[in-house]
Structure 1
């Protein structure tokens, strides 16, 4: 007994902690599984019903954006293309040979790609120093500068085109340069519009980039330039390439800038589609050009999606942030380049504002008072102020529609399915939802008139026609701002809420909604600003009695006369101010980091 006693005593304390402590700590699920298995036999049907209900709910939720995209984007575009390529004898693919057998059409495609590539290169050259200064350094007023840099991106293209035309016109401040009607002005306007894309895309990645590899390279004797080229640039590679792809896409589908600054001398696929549909009414040629543009846009979107996934993977590996640094001697080149860009960007907008204050009798607010009139010789059917109200109303409805549809899509795309096939389907849906961002707005607008002209989709007389078209344009931007936030959320929070018995709707309102609240507010404001300045589709759909402000601006500048030009400049200034205020709200509500993810950057 004396021998057995000391042997049994240590066995007692060893076995006791092994029961309550070690077993649950081994895999926690194993004892829980063994204990709950008998109860699971009773609750299994309810659990299965709950799981099936969640799957059905996700499918129904995904159906909302897919049906909206199918009815109000795919259907009108396919209808327009079919109208142009389908004859009495069937599908006529010979239209491609007829259209591209003309040297002018081939040159048009080449020019579209060339000018977009050059614009993207210039944006990278000027934007990367700005990204370093605004996201890697630290100084007072940095948040304000970030907001101001983004303002040009949300300005209506007709406003930007008018501002640059005023600056470089023969009687303008820089008229002596001889750039009026030149390609240089078109490229400058494209850089003005898309500079923020590069700054915020590359800057958002640079802000969270791990600085230890660069410090190791410098400790081994590498100079600043060599460290930047061999360490920093490769780490920023996915973000740089993604930003370049998106700028290329925006410039290839630029409409307002090319329409106002390019005129008849420089035409892209976008302006030629507009010309073929409105001036010549050659739907066959317009359909071929639309298909060509869709193929080009789809290729760029697929490439951008691949680059975005690589960027997200890279960020997950190098998320250790070294912290921003104070302005020093090494930031001087970036400071000089960014200051020069700021002055260059300020010039066209400042000239537009000053010219809006010039009247035939001198300086004053006469052009702004003229906004309450019908224009010179009663050019308009309604006052310009009514057009502003129409724009605000349509933009508010479009933003609400874009947010509702976009959030439904984001909730589905944010899931991490274990099945690879389902994951690929979600990736394909994510890419397809970006198509409205690059497909010709002219094609969408004209397709609305052709497709939505009979019951049950006869919307030609509906006040919702313009907001629906604008919502389709803003939808990809909403998705790109909200989706990264939901994907970054810890899925264990949702699982914990579900384990505690919360139904799917309660999980969404208690977990997902608070996490994406700031991004959602920013996305709504951004969708409002983009819809406010949308011109391509709206130019087809806005009725003469209810025009929007961008349509009125183009109509005013198309008619000669100092009074009409002055009124157009005043209207453009008001529209630019409204968009700028909304952009400040984006940075205030969504935060710089969320807004930097626009367009999948």
Structure 2
């Protein structure tokens, strides 16, 4: 538990410290802001195991606890600095406010500490909470980069449940992991963390330190993406041959199904989980007070959720099958993800507009269709896109619930990358490159507009 907590807290603190100046720099950009924003958010949207997979070739052959911890921390920062920066940019204080403070005699440092940071603190706290929770539940990444040297609660749960078949001990570890989550939520609520928007920023004066860190961060992101692209186009005869191999089961048929069939399973799970989770997230987002119950699954490891569904499935009739367990488990943690995006958006809609529609005779359905939906089109699109990418890249719960012909795309990719041979690695890297391209396109088009009126009240 100590290692899990240390990873989560150190990742959140360092990501916030490095992401804050980058966010101020991002808010000051005029040219290429959309493109920069897309690359900043890209690592956050990628599955944790995929980020680990791209960093793995950079690791030394010999690895001890300290080095393994450092590599995992580096991967967490790679995933989360851009996310913190985007949140800071979206909640930045206007240039006019800072100039007014300076006219009143405040120095630049004073205006930042006394005017800017207090207004941004709730958004930064909320984003840091997410970073801590995701870092505490990055099972696939720890499995890939830890190489047995780092043992978190998730890896222990997997080891005890799947290899030792000791469900009692696994349940005890699951309780410890959930206890850590409750502590993180308690701290976050004490500092006033609330869901914050990802889109919409004012013009900022900028940050030279943020510019330097931002350029370094973008360079690292491009190196990681370039490494994946290089392997996809050079291994096993090139990109075209690797694409053709996606219709196979890998070298020596190490997979039970082809990668295309695994992708079909993942897309099926995606559609079902969205149909379940999006309406619930929409309804919960309308509540006046933030709901701890809705947000709680964010910090409960998908491994724990998968374990719970696996145990529960043992009491169901075998005729029901188990293919539906994966999308149902995914819905549990997709709901808070959608809630985090939709809540500030729904609360930004003027109540007078909704009341006017009601007075004109519009029912709830018409008000939603003709008033709320058009206004909130971008936040809804963002929620759907982020939830879809999270579902496609989900690894932890699927590792407990998806076997044989029901294997998902991340499980198939992980199995390919963990086996020797250029054919298998080339297929894994090609699939990873396609996933990266999809995520980049999604986030670029979502963040095209320079400003929205959505904000936290």
Say yes or no: TM over 0.5.
yes
Is the aligned partner of 1:281 residue 2:141? no
Is the aligned partner of 1:475 residue 2:335? yes
Is the aligned partner of 1:200 residue 2:79? no
Q: Determine the C-alpha separation between the residues in 2 that align with 1:244 and 1:504.
A: 35
1:511 Cα offset (Å): 3.0
Q: Determine the C-alpha separation between the residues in 1 that align with 2:8 and 2:204.
A: 34
1:123 Cα offset (Å): 0.9
1:509 Cα offset (Å): 3.3
- Contact 2:323–2:402 under 8 Å retained in 1: no
1:191 Cα offset (Å): 0.7
Is the aligned partner of 1:295 residue 2:194? no
Q: Determine the C-alpha separation between the residues in 2 that align with 1:325 and 1:259.
A: 40
Match of 2:442 in 1: 582
Deviates more, 1:383-392 or 1:229-238: 229-238
- Contact 2:22–2:207 under 8 Å retained in 1: no
1:378 to 253, 260, 271: 253
- 1:359 to 1:213, Cα distance in 2 relative to 1, 3 A: closer
1:351 to 227, 237, 249: 227
1:513 Cα offset (Å): 3.0
- Contact 2:126–2:194 under 8 Å retained in 1: no
Q: Determine the C-alpha separation between the residues in 2 that align with 1:465 and 1:492.
A: 42
Match of 1:332 in 2: 208
Q: Determine the C-alpha separation between the residues in 1 that align with 2:201 and 2:436.
A: 37
Gaps of 5+ in 1: 1-108, 316-320, 417-425
Deviations 1:438-484 (A, max 9, x none): 1011111121122134458x686143222222222211111111121
1:409 to 258, 281, 284: 284
TM-score using structure 1 length: 0.69
Match of 1:366 in 2: 241
- 1:322 to 1:115, Cα distance in 2 relative to 1, 3 A: closer
2:59 to 158, 168, 187: 168
1:543 to 403, 426, 430: 403
CA RMSD, 1 decimal:
3.2
- Contact 1:156–1:576 under 8 Å retained in 2: no
Q: Determine the C-alpha separation between the residues in 1 that align with 2:365 and 2:187.
A: 35
Match of 1:438 in 2: 299
Match of 2:77 in 1: 191
- Contact 2:11–2:135 under 8 Å retained in 1: yes
Q: Determine the C-alpha separation between the residues in 2 that align with 1:365 and 1:197.
A: 33
- Contact 2:281–2:339 under 8 Å retained in 1: yes
Q: Determine the C-alpha separation between the residues in 2 that align with 1:322 and 1:537.
A: 36
Match of 2:29 in 1: 138
Match of 2:138 in 1: 254
1:325 Cα offset (Å): 5.2
Q: Determine the C-alpha separation between the residues in 1 that align with 2:174 and 2:358.
A: 47
Q: Determine the C-alpha separation between the residues in 1 that align with 2:282 and 2:249.
A: 40
Gaps of 5+ in 2: none
Match of 1:507 in 2: 367
1:264 to 145, 148, 158: 148
Paired residues in the alignment total 455
Q: Determine the C-alpha separation between the residues in 2 that align with 1:488 and 1:223.
A: 33
Match of 1:117 in 2: 9
Secondary structure of 1:439's counterpart equals coil
- Contact 1:357–1:366 under 8 Å retained in 2: no
1:200 Cα offset (Å): 2.0
- Contact 2:5–2:180 under 8 Å retained in 1: no
- 1:459 to 1:258, Cα distance in 2 relative to 1, 3 A: farther
- Contact 1:245–1:300 under 8 Å retained in 2: yes
Match of 1:10 in 2: none
- 1:345 to 1:459, Cα distance in 2 relative to 1, 3 A: farther
- Contact 1:481–1:595 under 8 Å retained in 2: no
- 1:406 to 1:273, Cα distance in 2 relative to 1, 3 A: same
- Contact 1:204–1:596 under 8 Å retained in 2: no
- Contact 1:449–1:460 under 8 Å retained in 2: no
Is the aligned partner of 1:341 residue 2:225? no
1:508 Cα offset (Å): 3.5
- Contact 1:305–1:431 under 8 Å retained in 2: no
1:232 Cα offset (Å): 2.7
Secondary structure of 1:433's counterpart equals helix
Q: Determine the C-alpha separation between the residues in 1 that align with 2:158 and 2:284.
A: 31
1:243 Cα offset (Å): 2.4
Q: Determine the C-alpha separation between the residues in 2 that align with 1:111 and 1:185.
A: 14
